[in-house]
Amino acid sequence: MEDLIGRVLGNRYEIVEKIGAGGMAVVYKARCRLLNRYVAVKVLRTDTEMTDDFIKRFKVEAQSAGSLSHPNIVSIYDVGNEGNINYIVMEYVEGYTLKEVVAKSDRLTWRASVRIAAQICAGLEHAHKNHIIHRDIKSQNILVTSELMAKVTDFGIARASSNSTITITGNTIGSVHYFSPEQAKGQHTDEKSDIYSLGIVMYEMLLGRVPLDADTPVSVALKQIQEVPIPPAQLDSEIPTSVSDIVMKALQKEPRLRYQTATEMLKDLNTVLENPNNVVITESNMGATTVMSSVNENMINDRANKPVVVEDDENMGRKKKKNSAGTVFLAFLCSLIIAVLAFVGVRTFIGNILGPEKAEVPMPNLIGKTLTEAQVELEELNILVKKINYQESDEVKKNTVIIQYPVANITVRENVKIAELTVSLGKTETIVPNVINYSLEEAKEKLENEQLRYSVAEEANSEVPKGYIVRQNPTENYEVSVGSIIELYVSSGPEEKQVSVPKLVGATESAAKALIKDAGLTYGITTYETDSTKSNGIVLSQSISHGKLVPEGKVIDIVVNKKENSNPEPDEPKVSTQKIYLNLKNKGVAGKEFTVRIEMSGGGVTGKQTIYEEKHTREDKELLLDVSGNGLAMLEVYIDGKLDSSQQINFK
């Protein structure tokens, strides 16, 4: 078959790499150019004989599976052909087959086994309700993600086979271990056949091996028809009896004694997860001796020479052809003998590689730990790292483990390269958040959460409170690289009025103070220096040069010239205090209040100043008052507003 890597199918699916192959098809990883996502493309082999009916059935089955939509079923997206290439496009699942998971882990815990079985059962329930029978349930056809999400794949491919013969491939060797008794006999299969195969898969998860095995595929087929497996609970005491009973009911030889629907089995699986000791499995003659029709290898070989006819559901209810449909598988089993030597050789080869059995340890939980922490922990447990993958993550910090294989608590062998870790690259691109009208601290936190840096500048704004973001650059919703700098402009409050500083140098001290006040500025302090070349008492310098714009109310300091030999300014007159006496006996009207007001002029006051005003009565008799001033002063006494007397005082 030609190599398709690099080719584009349907002008849409670009083949990237080969990820699997079987007897009938090759599976590729491809990129859908339309939706920019990875898909899996299954291409029918062109190196095998295919009739038109074979291709037609392949497409019909693909379209039938495409009608299914369930989280535990690999989705079918498209089906097409290009020249002699027939292909199916399906969901690409990042993970491993259940066969690989069991092989690497030796066996799964009973809880993990039941959880995975319940998911497979849920997928089968959906398919059966849509009248689609899988017919090839096996651990190789179950994909498991690192989160233990199980997805059933390869729906319907088993039915897309030639009318006249069955092609024998290496993959079929594995399938015979999962065949139901009715499949081994070549009889009609229905939903209960899928349930039997699921029972085998569940047995394999619990014990690490299939229940029935033999040296040749023919012998395995005979065991499927005749031999009852040993219940899992008898082989491992840690497996609850209820779990073992579910498996054994699914593995009943007679279809009528099995679970009749996937819904029935799913109900028991979910119940046993909640409480393994509170489940009673309907007996359905479990443990009773069943008389089977005698089948032996000679009978199979005798039938091998008869014509082969594959039974099709479309022919159900119609008159059958003379040749029994049961001979299909019998011929197939005989053909498998040719391939069994290769199978044995492969087993021997694997045994040589594995070598002596190694100690086992539980896989630790590494999710959320840094890569360094994970590597140290694995090294301490003697678990070797097979591969480290990296992927972007919007949620997880850089160098943090986000996916691990095997998952936690799975038993693994020491000193075997098995661990695969997927590590977060963090974000490479991010969206700028809106921080306008946020406080500076809130804005910083939002930007740091998006792994962005920032610069800060202030600008006046009368509408945005001081300390809050006025504007940003780039604006919100702009896509930038992680680590980019976002410019933040923080409000410094309303814009201050600017005034010009007046020229103070050369003015007297008192004039300078007046100029400062008139300009809307604030006078600060005056210091004195001596400059013999300048007039005494004038301003020598000012703290802010004249003509400069400063906020209104800014403080201005001045330096004033004070000559040492200059005539001292005259001393201000000394203030003294004298007592005055006033007789109140004959003032006013007897028995009534009257007002005494004393006014002073001179004595260091400007104009006339009231120095005393109170109400009195004649009973007060006299008034003794302290009066302060300097020089000569005139006192006038008023009774109820009328001048009563006056006197001159000389303050010494």
Q: Where are the domains of the chain?
A: 8-91, 96-283+293-342, 360-421, 429-491, 498-561, 576-651
336 SS3 class: helix
Cα–Cα distance measured from residue 486 to residue 505, given in angstroms and rounded to the nearest whole number? 47
Residue 535 has pLDDT above 50, yes or no: yes
Residue range 396-421: average pLDDT? Answer: 82
Question: What pLDDT sits at residue 131?
Answer: 85
Query: Which of 47, 53, 106, 136 is flagged as catalytic?
Result: 136
Residue 389 has pLDDT above 50, yes or no: yes
Q: State the pairing for strand pair 429-431/469-473.
A: unpaired
Question: What pLDDT sits at residue 22?
Answer: 74
Contact 133, 194 (CB under 8 A): yes
- Altogether, the residues listed in the chain come to a count of 652
> Domain 360-421 is in which class?
alpha beta
Cα–Cα distance measured from residue 188 to residue 223, given in angstroms and rounded to the nearest whole number? 19
Which residues are CB-neighbours of 317 under 8 A, at least 6 positions away? none
Lowest mean pLDDT among 148-157, 233-242, 506-515: 148-157
Residue 477 identity: N
Cα–Cα distance measured from residue 48 to residue 604, given in angstroms and rounded to the nearest whole number? 131
Q: Could you say which architecture CATH assigns to the domain 429-491? A: 2-Layer Sandwich (3.30)
Kindly compute the dihedral angle of the four CA atoms of residues 234, 238, 242, 243, in this order, to the nearest 10 degrees: -90
Lowest mean pLDDT among 251-255, 375-379, 415-419: 415-419
Question: What pLDDT sits at residue 314?
Answer: 34
Cα–Cα distance measured from residue 399 to residue 397, given in angstroms and rounded to the nearest whole number? 7
Residue range 217-223: average pLDDT? Answer: 87
Residue range 383-396: average pLDDT? Answer: 83
pLDDT band (50, 70, 90) for residue 239: very high
Which CATH number applies to 8-91? 3.30.200.20
Name the residue with higher pLDDT: 157 or 441. Answer: 441
Residue 300 has pLDDT above 60, yes or no: no
Residue 348 has pLDDT above 60, yes or no: no
Which residues are CB-neighbours of 269 under 8 A, at least 6 positions away? 114, 117, 118, 121, 246
Domains 360-421 and 498-561 alike in fold: yes
Q: State the pairing for strand pair 485-491/453-459.
A: parallel
Q: What is the CA radius of gyration of the chain?
A: 51
- Which of these, 599, 601, 607, 608, lies nearest to 644 by C-alpha position? 599
Cα–Cα distance measured from residue 85 to residue 68, given in angstroms and rounded to the nearest whole number? 24
Task: Determine phi and psi for 592, rounding to 5 degrees.
Answer: -120, 155
Contact 560, 590 (CB under 8 A): no
- The alpha helices in 236-323, defined as continuous H runs, are 241-250, 262-274, 297-303
Question: What pLDDT sits at residue 415?
Answer: 81
Q: Domain 498-561: which topology?
A: Trypsin Inhibitor V; Chain A (3.30.10)
How far, in whole angstroms, is CA 24 from its chain's centroid?
41
Longest CA–CA separation in the chain, Å = 162
| Token pair recorded at residue 584 | 């109140």
- Which of these, 560, 517, 521, lies nearest to 538 by C-alpha position? 560
pLDDT band (50, 70, 90) for residue 565: low
Cα–Cα distance measured from residue 538 to residue 541, given in angstroms and rounded to the nearest whole number? 9
Residue range 607-622: average pLDDT? Answer: 88
Q: Tell me what percent of the residues of the chain surpass a pLDDT of 90.
A: 38
Question: What pLDDT sits at residue 247?
Answer: 97
| 49-78 pLDDT per residue, tens | 666 666 666 666 676 677 788 999 998 888
Residue corresponding to tokens 């003015």: 507
| Token pair recorded at residue 286 | 């479990």
What's the predicted TM-score (pTM) here?
A: 0.46
Cα–Cα distance measured from residue 174 to residue 298, given in angstroms and rounded to the nearest whole number? 23
- Pick one of 2.170.130.10, 3.30.450.20, 2.60.40.2560, 2.60.120.260 as the CATH number of 576-651: 2.60.40.2560
Q: Domain 96-283+293-342: which topology?
A: Transferase(Phosphotransferase); domain 1 (1.10.510)
Name the residue with higher pLDDT: 330 or 146. Answer: 146
Q: Is 313 marked active-site?
A: no
Residue range 556-570: average pLDDT? Answer: 76
Question: What pLDDT sits at residue 48?
Answer: 61
Residue 554 has pLDDT above 60, yes or no: yes
Question: What pLDDT sits at residue 216?
Answer: 86
Residue range 565-586: average pLDDT? Answer: 73
| Token pair recorded at residue 22 | 């079987």
Question: What pLDDT sits at residue 171?
Answer: 40
